[in-house]
Amino acid sequence: MALTGIYGRVSTDEQTPETQLVASKQRCKQEGWKYRTFVDIAEKGNVVDQGDVLNRPEWRRLLTLVKKGVISRILVTKIDRITRDLHHACHFIEWYESVKKKYPDFEVVALMDYIDLDSWMGQMIFLQLALHATMEPKIISERTRAAMKRPDVVKKLVGGAPGRKWKKKK
């Protein structure tokens, strides 16, 4: 196994994976790793379910190449690029352990998260991050529904960046 599989994912067609890819390619060049990129991008008007691996063809292709011994390392910018769903995170740990039995040098590297999936502590942290990521959209949805019920709030968001503010009626 000699290739690093760089994986990037964006959840809407309004986002770009370039930030993820540039940082990952830079790391590969620094380490002298040969790489191939795999990117899942939402189709126009659709949102990719972050946890649904069946809805991510490039992720599935990457995992298949790992199983065949073509890819020796998965490189992501953040561990949540793998999944933001606890159920899928559990399955990924099982998959990871099965691959490690066949290819002991296989590894997953997250540029911004220092998680060692070879240790039970690293696996626990991975699962906790997935649990928090699973909760995040649900909490945001609850807050949004609560705000939409307020009569003094116009049901329109101002801006498009994180930290948007509700525009109040005049």
Strands (E), 33-160: 34-41, 71-76, 107-110, 153-158
pLDDT digits (tens, 9 = 90+) for 39-50: 988 665 555 555
For 26, the domain range is 3-168
Three-state DSSP at 32 gives coil
Total of domains in the chain: 1
- Phi and psi at 114, nearest 5°, equal -95, 85
Q: Which two tokens stand for residue 56?
A: 């991510």
| Domain containing residue 127: CATH number | 3.40.50.1390
Contact 36, 71 (CB under 8 A): yes
pTM summary value: 0.76
pLDDT tens-digit readout, 6-34: 999 887 777 888 988 999 999 999 999 99
Give pLDDT, residue 118.
Answer: 93
Does residue 160 register a pLDDT over 60?
no
For the residues 124-150, what does the mean pLDDT come to?
Answer: 82
pLDDT value at 104 more than 90: yes
